[in-house]
């Protein structure tokens, strides 16, 4: 009788362990799927946030004043284009020793 009870307890422990392991794997898989979905949503949101400023940069870079190096006129154009948005544009020399355009600073 005692061996029957011990056998039943061992079987119950084995079933409980298997159920726990399967439950853990299912939980882990759901968490992984959730993390992938969240990461994807973040990447899409960041990509969408970058589209608008890139469109401004592409549009402003086609300015004749920019291509001619007339940064005074280009700065006015950039300030005008960006005035109603939360973006700023700063153009510096490669080493940063000279600032050509900074739409954060107003030119009077």
Domain assignments of the chain as residue spans, ordered by start: 1-47, 63-108
Can you give the pLDDT at residue 107?
Answer: 61
Name the H helices within the chain. Answer: 2-61, 64-68, 71-82
What CA–CA distance (Å, rounded) separates 43 from 37? Answer: 10
- pLDDT, position 85: 85
Average pLDDT over residues 79-103: 87
Q: Which helix (H) or strand (E) holds 102?
A: strand 99-102
Q: Within a 13 Å sphere around the CA of 66, how many CA atoms are in the beta-carbon half?
A: 15
The pTM is what?
A: 0.53
């Amino acid at each position: 009788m005692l061996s029957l009870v011990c056998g039943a307890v061992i079987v119950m422990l084995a079933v409980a362990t298997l159920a726990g392991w399967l439950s853990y794997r299912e939980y882990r898989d759901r968490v992984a799927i959730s993390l992938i979905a969240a990461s994807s949503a973040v990447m899409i949101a960041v990509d969408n946030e970058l589209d608008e400023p890139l469109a401004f940069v592409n549009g402003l870079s086609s300015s004749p004043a920019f291509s001619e190096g007339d940064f005074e006129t280009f700065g006015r154009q950039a300030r005008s284009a960006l005035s109603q948005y939360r973006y700023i544009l700063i153009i510096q020399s490669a080493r940063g020793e000279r600032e050509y355009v900074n739409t954060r600073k107003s030119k009077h």
